[in-house]
Amino acid sequence: MKTLRNGDKGADVERLQRKLEKKGFSPGDIDGVFGLGTDAAVRAFQASEGLLVDGVAGKRTLGALKFRAKVQPLEEFDLDAVSPALVSQLFPGAPIGNIKVNLPEIKVALTASDLDDKPMTLMALATIRAESAGFVPISEFRSRFNTSPNGHPFDLYDNRQNLGNTGKPDGERYKGRGFIQLTGRFNYAFFGKRIGLGNQLIDNPDLANSPEIAAQLLAAFLKEKELKIKQELLEGDLRAARRLVNGGSHGLDAFKECYQQGERLFGAVA
């Protein structure tokens, strides 16, 4: 069964309509025509299930409706075809060696988190471009935003309750690291456990700069916000999508450039 959307017709649409009707989301006439009534029913069902509300009956929506047959996506995207040479066009300042070493880890982590679709792949790459233009996990640099004029390194982070920090030396110890620039005691604890490291990141925060772990942390962070990110991407609001990761607009221009160029470049990756 393929992905279904407004304008489709046939037996699969009729099956979809009957499933929606059975779930209590009436599409109107059961006629095998994916029109406005079916579109509205799909969107209502998606909202009810906490899915992306886009009106498209894709893998997750059809899965939630208990269709057992493998769902064929409307638009094929082959992450395996995203090569270092291709990605290097999105990272003009990155040594190709960095991309060859780290891209495989990124792809494995995205696939393991079921984020290997085109929008989330582009989101991951654009995030790396904004946070680590060299395509390598890095530690946060000192700046006026994290270090006071006469203070010790990262003292402005020491008592940030929203980061879960509890005073010196938490600011420097849990500064930004990795592809995502994971920051704060809370995030090191939460996402360390999320990727199966227990408290290892709390005890040894530099692990967040290991390529394999950095890739897993990137995927885990994006997975946590996947629904909201996809909704913003669906609406074309790249600023809002970036804010969900960074909390602000740092690196927004690089993020937008990478995402938009990737959309054009990856059009042929199928």
Domain-terminating residue out of 162, 190, 209: 209
Q: Are residues 127 and 158 in the same domain?
A: no
Is residue 1 domain-resident? Answer: no
Q: Are residues 132 and 142 in the same domain?
A: no
Is residue 41 domain-resident? Answer: yes
Q: What is the CATH number of the domain that holds 165?
A: 3.30.20.10
Q: Are residues 98 and 127 in the same domain?
A: yes
What pLDDT is recorded for position 96? 96
* Residues of the domain holding 110: 79-137+216-268
Q: How many domains, the chain? A: 3
Answer yes or no: is pLDDT of 15 > 70. Answer: yes
- Extract the tokens encoding 189: 């604890």
Q: Are residues 194 and 151 in the same domain?
A: yes
Is residue 55 domain-resident? Answer: yes
Answer yes or no: is pLDDT of 69 > 70. Answer: no
Is residue 45 domain-resident? Answer: yes
What pLDDT is recorded for position 70? 62
* C-alpha closest to that of 249 among 260, 237, 264: 237
- Give the whole-angstrom CA distance, residue 169 versus residue 154: 9
Q: Are residues 203 and 231 in the same domain?
A: no
Q: pLDDT per residue over 204-253, tens digit each?
A: 999 999 999 999 999 999 999 999 999 999 889 999 999 999 888 889 99
Report the predicted TM-score, pTM, of the whole model to 2 decimal places: 0.82
Q: Are residues 121 and 151 in the same domain?
A: no
Answer yes or no: is pLDDT of 71 > 90. Answer: no
Q: Are residues 181 and 221 in the same domain?
A: no
- DSSP per residue, 212-231: HHHHHHHHHHHHHTHHHHHH
